[in-house]
Amino acid sequence: MTIAIIAARGGSKRLPRKNIKLFCGIPLLAWSIIQAKSSKYIDEVYVTTDDNEIADVAVEYGAKVIMRPDWVDADFAAANRPFIHAMKMLKAIHGDIFNEVLTILPTTPLNKPGDFDIGIEEYRKLGCDTMGPLRPIRETVVLEKTHPRRCRMALFDKGYKYLGEASGWVVTNPNWYIAFNSEISDLDSVLNEKENWPALERYFFPVEYWQYADVDTLEEFEFAEVVMEHFILKGRKYNEVYKYIENNILPFGGD
């Protein structure tokens, strides 16, 4: 059984209420739900949240909801905490038949139709612990700031050796995810320190260079809308791009 879990909190600080802010005409959260529900492999779609308004949007667009605790340190916690909480609840319901999970961050909406299915197929073919999208980068130049107005070269490579982040989702085994993440901190302050990074090679499949936007600010949000419209929607409605029919009724108010 394959379940998609989308983590959407209500307390966004840099761009308040971003998960329900309209993105290309519908709430940002709705894109991840629609993309997951258009997959031919995903059996159920859940949103884990601490916010009633987000929960209402999730239900409106066809997802089930797991209300998570209002953790006092939620501002400092990494994404693995709500995912683990949701997985444990779903394992209690479904048991061992729940053996495949997509963990999705709704703040990275630039997923093409079929991306989730490609990731799931590659995950199954390779039998790996985790599989997700990354962007090949032809020329990698990283400059380290040494002063407010000075910098020096930290990395230079022109051989496609390095990769960039893409959309914030992976497919994995829930038992593996729970066990692995239980061994590391769920606080961003700890995970940000390089010496605490897990020594783990990550399996990936390549996506387009433009497929990255983490919409933490208004500028990033608006830029991602431009990219979504230009490369994915191309003047079409979302339900024309991400095909999903349930009980022979086209959902989401589609024509």
- The mean pLDDT value of the chain amounts to 87
End-to-end CA distance of the chain: 31
> Both tokens of residue 132?
């997700």
pLDDT tens, 43-90? 999 999 999 999 999 999 999 999 988 776 666 666 788 999 999 999
In DSSP terms, which residues pair with 171 in a beta bridge?
Answer: 102, 131
> Both tokens of residue 90?
């779903």
As a whole number, mean pLDDT of residues 208-224 equals 93
pLDDT at 254: 36
pLDDT at 78: 65
pLDDT at 250: 35
How distant, in Å, are the alpha carbons of 89, 135, 148, 171 from that of 168?
22, 12, 30, 11
How distant, in Å, are the alpha carbons of 49, 81, 127, 184, 189 from that of 69?
8, 11, 33, 20, 21
- How far is Cα 247 from Cα 91, in angstroms, rounded to an integer? 27
CATH assignment, 2-132+167-241: 3.90.550.10
Q: Work out whether the CA dihedral 199, 201, 207, 208 comes out positive or negative.
A: positive
- How far is Cα 53 from Cα 28, in angstroms, rounded to an integer? 13
pLDDT at 74: 65
Whether 249 shows a pLDDT value over 60: the answer reads: no
pLDDT tens, 14-46? 788 999 999 999 999 999 999 999 999 999 999
- Residue 159 carries which side chain, given as an amino acid letter? G
Q: How confident is the model at residue 160 (pLDDT cuts 50, 70, 90)?
A: confident
**119 CB-near residues (< 8 Å, 6+ apart):** 102, 131, 132, 133, 169, 170, 171, 205
Q: What is the pTM of this model?
A: 0.86
Question: Could you tell me the residue ranges of all domains in the chain?
Answer: 2-132+167-241
